Amino acid sequence: MAGSKESFASLLGLKETLRIQSEERAKAAAEEEKRKKERQAKAHEFENAMKKLGVKPVKLHNDVVHHEKAKPDPYPRQTKLDNEAVLTDSLSDHINADLYLDSDERLSYRAKNMAADIPKKLRAGTWSIKGSLDLHGYTSDEARALLSVFITEQMKAGHRAVRIIHGQGFGSFQKKPVLKERVPGWLIQKKEVLAFVEAPSFDGGAGALYVLLAPL
């Protein structure tokens, strides 16, 4: 009789273990499906951003997809902006942004020809923030390309001040703030950027930047 009870208890334990394992597999599958959909959405968003500049995929005989830049815009100044936006390889990942930043309690930068009080005015809201770019979830290469596209589009729209959200790296591989470290370096290399500062705490804080763009 005791043996029967032990066998029954073991059977119940096995069923419970199998139930838990089944639930864990279902949960893992659901999470993977969610991540897959998020990756597809990000890829679709990235492709749409590239299309705005006329960058379209060209399919070759070996089925490898390459991107070819559209013909230049007939307007010289606009052509220059578009060319700079798609030539993202010219933005180095190895710029030491610290060499160009102002001595401040928070991150700030201004171009050489800009007045010393520009970062303070930018942080205080002298220029209204008209556009925002969230780079969460993008790879470094995707973020670099989207940043150039975004700046070009904002200048076309006549916007002077924008917000760029690079995050603090909490969700990145090994918790390294890759974009937080690289975005300032990319911005410094763009002639269209006159200044940038760390956003106020209520608008992203250390995970975002306010950027002042040159007028078109």
- In tens, the pLDDT along 69-123 reads 555 455 455 555 555 545 444 676 556 655 556 655 678 899 999 999 999 999 9
Provide the 8-state DSSP code for 95: -
User: What is the H or E stretch that residue 34 is in?
Assistant: helix 2-52
Tell which CATH architecture fits domain 87-213: 2-Layer Sandwich (3.30)
Please compute, for residue 70, the number of CA atoms within 13 A of its CA located in the half-sphere on the CB side: 12
Give the pLDDT of residue 43.
75
What is the per-residue burial (b if ≥16 Cβ within 10 Å, else e) of 193-204? bbbbbbbeeeeb
CB 153 within 8 A of CB 189: no
Give the pLDDT of residue 116.
92
Q: Where are the domains of the chain?
A: 1-37, 87-213
Q: Which residues of the chain carry a pLDDT beneath 50? A: 60-63, 72, 75, 85, 87-89
